[in-house]
């Protein structure tokens, strides 16, 4: 039976193929990259012929240093560009023959990563798993 982790693995493959050369992609934070996408499989609900799974893609971008006093500012343009790239890749991807598909169900506004001088945006996918055989 397919789970949110199975869906997350497909999400990772899509992102590695589509933007792996410009964005560090993984399962956990490393904090030493300027731009990073962390894939987080969440819950999977339901039994039988329909299950619903949720996967978060958290896009982290370092803030911009705006002066000698170490004044940092959210890098909104970069966060926005990467969010558009990631959400477009995920919206346009079609999963064939696996018994599930996903939609980009939500994009959260930028949140500050405490004590890290960076912000992140969550792209939330909802996957509909229709096949009992998986």
Q: Could you please report the per-residue DSSP string of 81-125?
A: HHHHHHHHHHHH----SSSEEEEEEEEPPPEEETTTTEEEEEEEE
Domain ranges of the chain: 4-129
User: Which range is least confidently modeled, 24-28, 75-79, 128-132?
Assistant: 128-132
Regarding pTM above 0.85, the answer is: yes
The predicted-structure confidence for 23-69, as pLDDT tens digits, reads as follows 999 999 887 788 999 999 998 888 778 889 999 999 999 999 887 77
**What is residue 134's predicted lDDT score, i.e. its pLDDT?**
41
Domain 4-129 has CATH 3.30.2000.30: yes
In this prediction, residue 77 has a pLDDT band, given cuts at 50, 70 and 90, of very high
Given a cut of 50, whether residue 111 has pLDDT beyond it is yes
């Amino acid at each position: 039976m397919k789970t949110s982790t199975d869906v997350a693995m497909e999400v990772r493959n899509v992102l590695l193929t589509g933007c792996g050369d410009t964005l560090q992609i993984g399962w956990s934070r490393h904090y030493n990259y300027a731009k990073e996408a962390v894939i987080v499989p969440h819950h999977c609900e339901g039994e039988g012929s329909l299950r619903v799974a949720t996967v978060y893609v958290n896009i982290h971008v370092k803030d911009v240093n705006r002066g000698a006093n170490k004044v940092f500012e959210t890098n909104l343009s970069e966060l926005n560009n990467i969010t558009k790239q990631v959400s477009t890749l995920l919206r346009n991807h079609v999963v064939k023959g696996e018994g599930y598909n996903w939609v980009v169900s939500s994009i959260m506004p930028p949140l500050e990563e405490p004590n890290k001088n960076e912000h992140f945006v969550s792209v939330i996918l909802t996957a509909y798993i229709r096949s009992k055989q998986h």
